[in-house]
Structure 1
């Protein structure tokens, strides 16, 4: 369930942005009242909604009512937001879908490292600074429950990472538009 919202957000938005680039959609952003923030938020929210709906349907079908919905939805929503922003950031930096697909493992692998601990291969406290660890803790607490500190830690770490990647993506997208439209 971790990979569904992350892969959906990251790879799907990468394809969308690259398709929009090929169709010269971005040139129109300068003549419409649509702001970069609004564009980014619309992409993040639409893919996050899609990830949340599909994940909750899958979870209900598989686990019926034997899980806590709030930590699960928090994990899915925050995971999707983070990886969607990361996907946009990479998509504006590459020239083609192939370049996106070849480059994406270099970025995603860093954030997937806590999965190594989750499956019991390697454990280090450094993983706790990565957003993936927070996502995994929230997903795990959907089944076992968790102390309030786990929820606070997870939401705080994810909020910081989402904020940082949003600022980075905003700047990257702004530079991309300047390069694309004025060169």
Structure 2
């Protein structure tokens, strides 16, 4: 029940500060853009758009949300409340993941390419991973400029490289890269989708452990003690 209240509170917070409006603008723009793309390119372009916007943008938006909470001293209140570290992280990931998945599904249904179920699976897993990374970075950062600089290496590794693998062959072991597995799930149509899912789950579990430790330290620094 407490987790549900946290999720609804986060959704209201995101709506208040225009995150939903921003996603709506991006969605309309992408749908318009897809109408201009030749049919033979559409499947690849859709995969890149879905991966880079609803999934990868979660990293940026999560950072912005955490920094807003810091500036308004929301974290100070949460740190001394009964809210546990895991509940806080789960609520953040679920609330931002909801809108990311919604946008991804809208784009996929509009384009009518690939397997919608696999696309949904890829978006959800990628959104969770990027949101966790956003929290890990943001809790250690004090300003938006620092956050942007800190995210550049992650974006190059997790966004640019997976897109390159759509056009160049980097070998079979490249699927161990979480971004590559995510974007291939979003495209759909492969036989080794179970491998992609397992790879993403491994990275999500690892990111969750690091995120839990980072948030716990941040809460302790603010005077709260959470398990």
TM-score (norm 1): 0.88
Q: Is the 8 A contact 2:69 2:75 kept in 1?
A: yes
| SS across alignment from 2:190 | coil
Structure with larger RCO (C-alpha < 8 A, sep 6+): 1
Question: Which sits farther off after the overlay, 162-171 or 52-61?
Answer: 52-61
Root-mean-square deviation (Å): 1.6
Which runs of 5 or more residues in structure 2 are unaligned?
1-49
CA distance in 1, matches of 2:139, 2:129: 16
Deviations 1:126-173 (A, max 9, x none): 5222101111221121xxx222xx121011001000000011011011
Listed as ranges, the gaps of 5+ residues in structure 1 are none
After superposition, residues 1-150 of structure 1 pair within 5 angstroms as: 1-63=50-112, 66-112=113-159, 113-120=161-168, 123-141=170-188, 145-147=189-191, 150=192
Distance in 2 (CA, whole Å) between partners of 1:104 and 1:30 is 25
Q: Distance in 2 between matches of 1:42 and 1:6?
A: 17
Write out per-residue CA displacement over residues 105-141 of structure 1, whole angstroms, 9 at most, x where no aligned residue. 1222222323222122x62445222101111221121
Partners of 2:182 and 2:132 in 1: how far apart? 16
CA distance in structure 2 between the partners assigned to 1:106 and 1:18 by the alignment: 19
2:203 equivalent to 1:156: no
CA distance in 2, matches of 1:67, 1:123: 23
Does the Cα contact within 8 Å between 1:86 and 1:169 map onto a contact in 2?
Answer: yes
TM value normalised by structure 2? 0.72
**Contact 1:44 1:81 (8 Å CA) reproduced:** yes
Confirm or deny: 8 A CA contact 1:116 1:123 kept in the other structure: no
CA drift of 1:36 comes to 1.0
